[in-house]
Amino acid sequence: MPIVVDIDVMLARRKMSVGELADRVGITPANLAVLKNGRAKAVRFATLAALCEVLDCQPGDLLRWEAAGEPDGVPGQDAPLSR
């Protein structure tokens, strides 16, 4: 999927657990895990705003676009050509 969710990065920076974030945002740990692991098909703006408020960050700190040919975790690098 071209949209990558970096909630785990912000959790590590804030030294916060998934359970604590879920409690503070007001969503279930299971729903947060779906979002965190990139399996969500959508996210409500209210949820995104709550995540940003609790993590003291911007939406761009949590979500990023990755071109289809880019390897995971290496934005900006060209993918190898296949023949």
pLDDT in tens for each of the 83 residues of the chain? 689 999 999 999 999 999 999 999 999 999 999 999 999 999 999 999 999 999 999 999 999 999 887 665 555 554 454 44
How many Cα atoms occupy the beta-carbon half-sphere of 24 within 13 Å? 16
Task: Return all residues near 51 (Cβ < 8 A) that are at least 6 apart.
Answer: 7, 21, 25, 57, 62
Name the pTM for this structure.
0.78
Give the 3-state secondary structure of residue 8.
Answer: helix
Round to whole Å and give the CA distance between 44 and 24: 16
